[in-house]
Structure 1
Amino acid sequence: MLKNYLKIAWRNLRKHKFYTFLNIFGLSLGLASCLLITLYVVDELSYDRAFANADRIFRINADIRFGGADMALAVAPDPLAFTLKKDYPQIEQVVRMRENGSQLVRRADATDNLKEEHVFFADSTFFKVFSVPLLQGDPNTALRNPQTVVISETDARKYFGDTNPMGKALMVDNSAAYTITGVMRDIPAQSHMRDVNMLLSMSSTEESRSNAWGSHNFNTYILFREGVNAKQFEQHFETVLQKYTSKWIQSFLGSTLEEVRKSGNYLVYTLMPLADIHLHSDRTAEINANGNIQYVYIFGVVAVFLLAIACVNFMNLATARSANRAKEVGVRKALGSERSSLVSQFLTESIMLSFLSLALAILIAYIALPLFNSLASKQIQFPIANAWFWSVLLLTGGIVGVLAGSYPAFFLSAFQPLKVLKNTIELEGRGSGYLRNALVVFQFVISVMLIVGTGVIYRQLNYIQTKKLGFNKDQMLIVNDAYALDNQVKAFKEQVLQLPNVESATVTSFLPTPSSRTDHTFFPVGQMQQDKGLNMQKWSVDYDFAKTMQLQMASGRAFDESFPSDSTGIVINEAAAKVLGYPDPIGKKIFGYEDAALTKRVDYTIIGVVKNFHFESLRKNIGALSLILYKSSGSVVFRMKGGDAPRTVEQVAALWKKMAPGQPFNYRFMDQDFDNVYRSEQRVGEIFITFATISILIGCLGLFGLSAFTAERRTKEIGVRKVLGASVGNIVALLSKEFIKLIIVAILIGSPIAWFGMNHWLSDFAYHVDLAWWMFAAAGLLAIVIALLTVSFQSVKAALMNPVKSLKSE
């Protein structure tokens, strides 16, 4: 029986090649898109789950409000980890990591440096918390001694050509030699620590022993013992605050913890599960840029929608062509076929078509995966050897076949043979017509939502690109690692300034593109009360910083070499001046501390107030910022005049190689640096427009098939109308208007849903575009134009048909 079903199904599919092609192609596009998005979602959800005991590992987060600033930090104070380990037996182990930034690294016996982007200090307990295997070395002792380092196998091959460099030394920052005591496997790409390839021993830095309860700089992780409830354990943080932090607050501010809280300030520690970090954390001092759970939800819904659109196409075309199968059903029933056998026959056709589409979808997805990886910035592998993957795919193919074919099967098998054979059955009953219309509306509701979403995302990105930031990011060349020049930094800057295309230059470690923070607390001189504190970023700059960045002064002046007193001067932004509350802050004195132990006090005189400029992401409001004069050689930034940029880069590189032989020349442009901050939104926009296009294409395939069927069904009517004088335009309008009505209904339904979704997405940005009515009108108009172009081909074809042939057709 099954063989007979398959044979008849195959013959029927071959007989109607046009509709078979539309169904298979549309369904395969939907399945391929769904498959790619599913691989993306699974990849996102798998972060940090490869670590053994991942369910027992938690990171300590800190939420602080002080000095007019709110901070959500992924770091904690240096003494917190081991204090918790000492006081609470529920904790099996702890580890701290301290970012050391990008460093120049070379073998001790070499002269040429290489750039390491993510270098961290880590406690010797790192390998007891995280199950990163060591290829060489003892995990219990590898990071125990000062000036030791554990490197990844990738770095071992990069520096030494093999994975056994034990006992050899690496020079970090051209100044400190670290002995290799371990080689670890590369940390999995699906980890929030994925780019960490070099771990320096924590005992190498004095900061790890500062006992500063108010200085938050260490990514801190806890491994709980079996059965510990992390949520309940959070209650112990209050005890820690009262027992330890309150003493620090008392010594620093002269106020109690309760008094600090009463004034509206707070310090709260919470635990975040390791597996949640990648998708649920976007805090200051993250080890890597993380993902966003919202995008996982969005793409998951898009995958379901795309698959639903493809299934809707099948149902629409199958029910629309019921007239062509009605006599077949009538004859089969007259010859004794039961309804169940007819349902089985039609479901067999549907499932066969589904598996043909699935085969083509797998091929499309396999071919498109490299392009999708590039689009999504992923390294997803096609799981060819995974039995679960193939089992799920086969199950999906069967389910899609049953779901897509169920309504047509039960609809067609319900025909009464006597009425069918007498041509008295109403083949285009209201039920089937309403259902098809509803399904078309459903398809274009989704398309309208995706079109609106794509438009809003790109408009927001354009807003980010064109918004006045308070500084000029164009034509700015950033030369990294200026410290490699040693004492020739100033000479290098002066020589580059002699180039005809260079206008100005500044040496600094701080740039107005979101990067590392350096938060400090300041007080008005003589007013060291906790309610008078001002928490703000402190940037070390030179005399030319404001000029090179083209910052605008609100009052006072920028640093000037003709004023020797500027060595103790400070420039604040308008946000800081507002918190201080001075009507005129120029000349007022504030002070802060240079060390975590609060022993090195420095008094500053406010010499200028710079207009607010965006030094963080546009997701955040502009916070308090200060500039001080201090030698800082992280980067040299050159403003160019807009001439031949590639030529200028070559000239700067030549000077670098002359003055810093053996040091890598790394550069970037500030506008590109700025764009990278919003790269995730750009990727989302690109993915959105890709799948929006696919959804529209699938919808158009169904609309094309329905319009072809409608034209075929109304052939005689068209012939009569043409004989009576109807023009081609009249016929096209007649056949198109019912589809346009459906698209308008889809616009009215889809627009409010799209408004709600995009308004929620924009709420993540402190600065964003407004949702205007014309954006939804434009999306609706685009949907109508696309539908008209799709339908008009069949409409014009039918309208141009010779009426004689139309009237002769049966």
Structure 2
Amino acid sequence: MQLTNDHIDYIIKDLNYRGIVHDDLQHEFVDHICSAVEEKMQGNVRFLDAYHAVLQQFGHTTGLRQTQLQTISQQNTQIKIMLRSYFTIALRNLRKHSFYSFINVAGLSVGISICLVILLFVLNELRYDRHHERVDRIYRIHAEIDFAGNHYDMTYAPAPMAATLASDYPEVEAAVRFREQGSYLIKREADNIKESKVIWTDKDFFKIFTVPLIAGNPETALAEPKSIAISKEIADKFFPNEEAIGQTLILDNNMTMKVTAVYQDMPATSHFHFNVLIAMAGLDEAKSPVWFSNNFQTYFLLRDGANVKNLEEKFPDLITKHVMPQMKEVLDDFTPEKFAEAGNKLVYTTQALSDIHLYSSLQGEFEPNFDITYIYLFVAIALFILIIASINFMNLSTARSANRAKEVGVRKVMGSLRSHLMRQFLMESLLLSLFSFILAIGLAYLLLPLFNNLAARELSLPLTQPFFYLFILTGAIVVGFLAGVYPSFFLSAFKPVNVLKGNVALGMKSGFIRSSLVVFQFMISIFLVIATAVVYMQLDYIQTKKLGFNKDQVIMVDDIYALGNQRLTYKEEIMRHSFIENASIAGYLPVAGSNRSDTPWWIEGKEANQENMVSLQNWQVDHDYIKTFGMSIKEGRDFSHIFPSDSNAVILNESAAKALSFNESIIGKRVNTFGDDSNGDLNKGNLRVLTVIGVVEDFHFESLKQSVTPLMMFLSKRPSGYLSVRFQSANAEEVISMLEKEWKEMAPGQPFTYQFLDDSFGKMYAAESRLGSIFGIFSSVAIIIACLGLFALTAFTAEQCTKEIGIRKVLGASVSSIVIMLSKDYGKLVLIAFVLATPFAWWGVNEWLQSYEYKVNVAWWVYMLAGVVAFGIAWITMSYQSIRAALSNPVNSLRSE
């Protein structure tokens, strides 16, 4: 006879009544008593008689309580001995099952190393601009403008904004402006050195930003015109082993600047990195009173205790007081109401300094920022990989449980409590976790250079900080406990009677939890595979899309102004070579980072109001610009030396022609804009008039995240910027050598630098390229770790079906049929994972692609291919264990029967 559930419930309640309440001991008493009662009931003894006979052997209530006290006392006095025993047995078991131990350690260490690298990256991104002492009170002006059909979301503000904030608004303690004007050639006496990290700024720079000075007075360093502050890097470059203060540097061969301060190099975790600060007091443009010309990045320091929202609420009044009156002077029939009715908008808001790096991607950013969305994504990936690795640990542990079931049964019969067994298995888990963390540190150390290269960062492990090792130890304990707590409960719960009879209660008979874990693992893996594929498809689309110009075989010589009056001569000399197809001098290029300028224009004969004006990009070019960049004239003609009147001619792109003429032919019509007065300000009475001679096909001159906006090109009176040279593809090295030779002859002492147009174009998508590479690596890691988990479950299934496989083989089953039997259930789980992952992946990639105005069309087969790849890899993983089990000798599995 066997005990029923009612019998077991009766025993549990009776033991509670007798005072056996210690959880572990009660479980052991119930286990021992139930086994003893079952043996007596085999002789046709009634349950109650058998139970009381067993109780008598224990000494009834008094004996049970004494046994409980003695056991607890022994536990308390033998902890050190038991811990040493746990440790010894754990090492013995790990060595005995070295292959599975290796898989456990490998899976955990890879997952932990990835988490460690991502954690370092995330902490680094969150530290941006936190080194400023007043970071919580520093803000930047953000301008959002809709005017003449164009939308601007930018960091630029008018020249008078900073002074007005500081003088008229009590919430503002100080304000500072920045003005970028490109790179500069800098020299002390002889040869120039090109420096790109140069900025004009106001005298309160050091008051607002925490940039420690090595020498100089922060209050007066940038107060006077023609004074500059330089970084330690620049000081060491131009004044090695000398005092830089009071020395002079020459910028662009014509501006002599006095060094008034030397500051520490700006940290990597700053959203700007300037090596040279030029005093804004010497820039005429900074004195402009015009409020609707936005060219300056403006930052301000909020007074302690002030509320930035209260300040923002005053910005509409600032616009009404300063901007609107000036717009009324130049726009016919202007009123704020008509301005708004025409769909126009001007809004100023603020951005916290601490938010810029992760939450801002405006026009005019000093450097490319990161995106908080990617931070969340990387953290999620790190957690998923760690969870997958921990899941694998649990599955591998339970997969080997059948081999340890008899060990558990024997140890229980010999007197081991369940708590002892749980501690034993947790010790093994903690040891594996500790080994994995130690190995993970080594893997992270090896991975960091690769990750730094991909992410364009300079991360390093804090190996000299004690906190790092405390973190590693804590992490090892937490991960070891979480990963081992389920196996310890599972293995220690085996009943010795059933185990020693060969009936192992495996738990979770439905397999639902294990199946769910496999589905979860492959959902993440398939999601990452799809995301990686779409990122690479979008990058390929960007590289192959028709752009409206030819970016290949074009080399750009920088800083052509360094040639002075010989720039045209240099171009003519270059054009004499047979392998040069064309060349053009212009600072406006169809790649981000080159010159940009826009003003409102309207068709002559119409009123100058917001209904008729169209904001156009104004590009100054030369006669050969369109031919050099391979653009296509859709209507009219190109600039020509034959027509002297082309000095007052203009070529529009298709978007500009459509916006100005409303689909009518615009060739021969004249367009107007406001000219400048003697102070450089817009003058309503001084109109500039140009005649349209051609329309060029729309071309992408910004990132494909933006649509093509209206643009006009007119001839520059003094071309400058870059010399763009189109050459024959087989002669790149010869072209560079020739360009440098001619340069050195005409501009001795001036640095010769160049870049390829397609490289500059690719830099606009460097972040996406890095993201694709990182996603590819994470996807591979996730799939590998998920396959380890699948390997574990296949091993688990094969071990539990050993006798069934033997019987099937004896009855004539083929190897292929057995492989299919063992693999099909887990193959179904991968298919379920694909079905569940696809909607999430579709949503995720579409959200990411929304940031692009021009994007790839992701066909259904991309999702299907990702599923096939994941299924194929999973099938290969499963096949190893399945074929191994199917080929085993059935005699070995059936001999015990």
* TM tier relative to shorter chain: over 0.9
Measured against aligned partners, the alpha-carbon deviations of 1:283-319 in whole angstroms (never above 9, x if no partner) come to 1111111111121111111111110110110011112
* C-alpha distance 19-594 of structure 1, shift in aligned 2 (>3 A): farther
Give the 3-state SS of the residue equivalent to 1:174 in structure 2. coil
Distance, in Å, in 2 between the alignment partners of 1:806 and 1:329 is 21
Kindly report which structure 2 residues correspond to 1:590-629, keeping only aligned pairs within 5 A, or say none: 590-595=671-676, 597-599=681-683, 601-629=687-715
State how far apart, in whole Å, the 2-side matches of 1:380 and 1:37 are: 10
Paired residues for 1:649-668 under 5 Å: 649-668=736-755
Aligned to 2:233: 154
TM score, norm. by length of structure 1 = 0.97
1:72 aligns with 2:164: no
CA separation of 1:163/1:215 partners in 2, compared to 1, >3 Å: closer, same or farther? farther
C-alpha contact (below 8 Å) 1:100/1:118 kept by paired residues:
no
Return the alpha-carbon distance in structure 1 between the equivalents of residues 719 and 356 of structure 2: 33
Aligned match of 2:379: 300
Match of 1:679 among 741, 766, 771: 766
- Could you say if the C-alpha distance between residues 404 and 628 of structure 1 is closer, same or farther in structure 2, counting changes exceeding 3 Å? same
Q: Does the 8 Å CA contact 1:22/1:702 hold for their aligned counterparts? A: no
Rounded to whole Å, the distance in 2 between the matches of 1:336 and 1:236 is 79
- Aligned match of 1:494: 572
Residue of structure 1 aligned with 2:360, choices 281, 285, 309: 281
Amino acid paired to 1:68: G
Cross-structure match for 1:92: 173
Which deviates the most, 256-265 or 769-778? 256-265
Tell me how far 1:55 sits from its aligned partner. 0.7
Give the whole-Å Cα distance in 1 for the aligned partners of 2:370 and 2:160: 30
Paired residue for 1:581? 661
Deviations 1:559-582 (A, max 9, x none): 111111111111111111222134
2:581 corresponding residue in structure 1:
503
> Residue 591 of structure 1: CA displacement?
1.6
Deviates more, 1:625-634 or 1:696-705: 696-705
- Is the contact between residue 121 and residue 201 of structure 1 (CA under 8 Å) also seen in structure 2? yes
Matched, 1:31 2:112: yes
Aligned with residue 314 of structure 1, among 374, 393, 415: 393
* 1:13 equivalenced with 2:94 (yes/no): yes
Q: Are the counterparts in 2 of residues 719 and 804 from structure 1 also a CA contact under 8 Å?
A: yes
CA drift of 1:163 comes to 6.5
User: In the alignment, what sits opposite 1:230?
Assistant: 308
* Alignment partner of 1:715 is 2:837: no
**Match among 201, 214, 217 for residue 122 of structure 1:** 201
Residue 703 of structure 1: aligned partner: 790
**Larger deviation: 380-389 or 654-663?**
380-389
Greater CA drift, 538-547 or 691-700 = 691-700
Q: Which structure has the greater CA radius of gyration? A: 2
RMSD across aligned positions (CA):
1.6
Alpha-carbon distance change, 40 to 594 in structure 1, aligned in 2, over 3 angstroms: farther
Match of 2:621 in 1: 541
**Correspondence for 1:530:** 610
Quick check: 2:586–2:721 contact (8 Å CA) kept in 1?
A: yes
Alpha-carbon spacing, 1:391–1:192, altered in 2? closer, same or farther (3 Å): same
Alpha-carbon separation, structure 1, partners of 2:471 and 2:857: 43
User: For the residues of structure 2 that align with 1:86 and 1:809, how far apart are their CA atoms?
Assistant: 95
- Gaps of at least 5 residues in structure 2 are 1-78
Question: How far apart, in 1, do the equivalents of 2:297 and 2:514 lie?
Answer: 56
Work out which of the residue numbers 631, 634, 642 in structure 2 matches 1:554.
Answer: 634
Match of 1:102 in 2: 183
Aligned to 2:343: 264
- The 5 A counterparts of 1:300-699 are 300-427=379-506, 429-431=508-510, 433-515=511-593, 516-526=595-605, 527-582=607-662, 583-595=664-676, 597-599=681-683, 601-630=687-716, 631-699=718-786
Question: Is the 1:316–1:439 contact (alpha carbons within 8 Å) kept by the matching residues of 2?
Answer: no
Distance in 2 separating the partners of 1:163 and 1:29? 50
| Cα drift, residue 798 of structure 1 | 2.8
Q: Give the 3 Å change call, closer, same or farther, for CA 781–19 of structure 1 in structure 2.
A: same
| Contact 1:716–1:809, Cα closer than 8 Å, also in 2 | no
- Contact 2:393–2:483 at 8 Å: present in 1 too? yes
Partner deviation per Cα, 1:428-482 (whole Å, 9 max, x = no partner):
6425x22222111111111101100100000000000000001110111111111
Paired with 2:180 and 2:126, the residues of 1 have a C-alpha distance of: 25
Of all paired residues, the percent bearing the same amino acid is 47
Alignment pair present for 1:750 and 2:833: no
- Aligned counterpart, 2:20: none
Q: Are the aligned partners of 1:508 and 1:632 in contact in 2 as well (CA < 8 Å)? A: yes
Instruction: Please say if 1:58 is aligned against 2:145.
Output: no
Is the aligned partner of 1:4 residue 2:85?
yes
Q: Which moved more, 1:736-745 or 1:146-155?
A: 736-745
Matched, 1:291 2:377: no
* Cα distance in 2 between the residues matched to 1:231 and 1:191: 25
Which deviations, in whole Å up to 9, do the C-alpha atoms of 1:748-768 show, x marking residues without a partner? 111111111111001110000
- Output the CA distance in 1 between the equivalents of 2:687 and 2:773: 51
Task: Give the Cα–Cα distance (whole angstroms) in 1 for the partners of residues 203 and 843 of structure 2.
Answer: 49
Contact 2:490–2:507 under 8 Å retained in 1? no
Q: In structure 1, how many angstroms separate the alpha carbons of the residues matched to 2:823 and 2:875?
A: 7
* 1:2-41 CA distance string (max 9 Å, x none): 3322222222212211111111000000000000011111
Report how far residue 422 of structure 1 moved: 2.4
**Structure 1 runs, 4 residues or longer, greater than 4 Å off:** none
Q: Alpha-carbon deviation of 1:522?
A: 1.4
Distance in 2, Cα, partners of 1:115 & 1:390: 44
Q: Which amino acid aligns with 2:857?
A: D
SS of the aligned residue for 2:253 comes to coil
CA distance in 2: counterparts of 1:349 and 1:750, whole angstroms: 34
Partner-residue secondary structure (3-state), 2:730: coil
User: Within 1, Cα distance between the matches of 2:501 and 2:324?
Assistant: 92
SS in 2 for 1:522: strand
Helix, strand or coil: the match of 2:729? coil
Q: Which structure 1 residue ranges, 5 or more long, are not aligned?
A: none
Deviation at 1:505, TM superposition (A): 0.8
Determine if contact 2:227/2:260 at 8 Å carries over to the other structure: yes
- Tell me by how many angstroms 1:232 deviates: 2.5
Alpha-carbon offset, residue 488 of structure 1: 1.2
Give CA deviations for 1:481-511 in whole Å, capped at 9, x if unaligned: 1111111111111211222221111110011
C-alpha distance in 1 between matches for 2:421 and 2:305 = 57
Task: Confirm or deny: 8 A CA contact 1:62 1:267 kept in the other structure.
Answer: yes
Counterpart residue type for residue 149 of structure 1: I
Which amino acid counterpart does residue 42 of structure 1 have in structure 2? L
Query: What is the alpha-carbon distance in structure 1 between the residues aligned to residue 799 and residue 413 of structure 2?
Result: 28
Kept after mapping to 1: 8 A contact 2:184/2:195: yes
CA distance in structure 2 between the aligned counterparts of 1:558 and 1:336, rounded to whole angstroms:
98
The C-alpha deviation readout for 1:358-396, integer Å capped at 9, x for no partner, is 010011101221111011110112212334333333222
Q: Give the Cα–Cα distance (whole angstroms) in 1 for the partners of residues 365 and 879 of structure 2.
A: 54
* Deviation of 1:161 (Å): 1.6
**Bigger relative contact order, structure 1 or 2 (CA pairs below 8 A, ≥6 apart):** 1
Deviations 1:305-349 (A, max 9, x none): 110110110011112222222223323333333333332222222
The aligned counterpart of 1:740 is 827
Displacement of 1:409 after TM fit?
Answer: 1.7
Q: Which residue of 2 aligns with 1:178?
A: 257
Aligned pairs (5 A) from 1:181-260: 181-194=260-273, 196-254=274-332, 255-260=334-339
CA distance in 2, matches of 1:345, 1:623: 69
2-structure distance, mates of 1:520, 1:802: 85
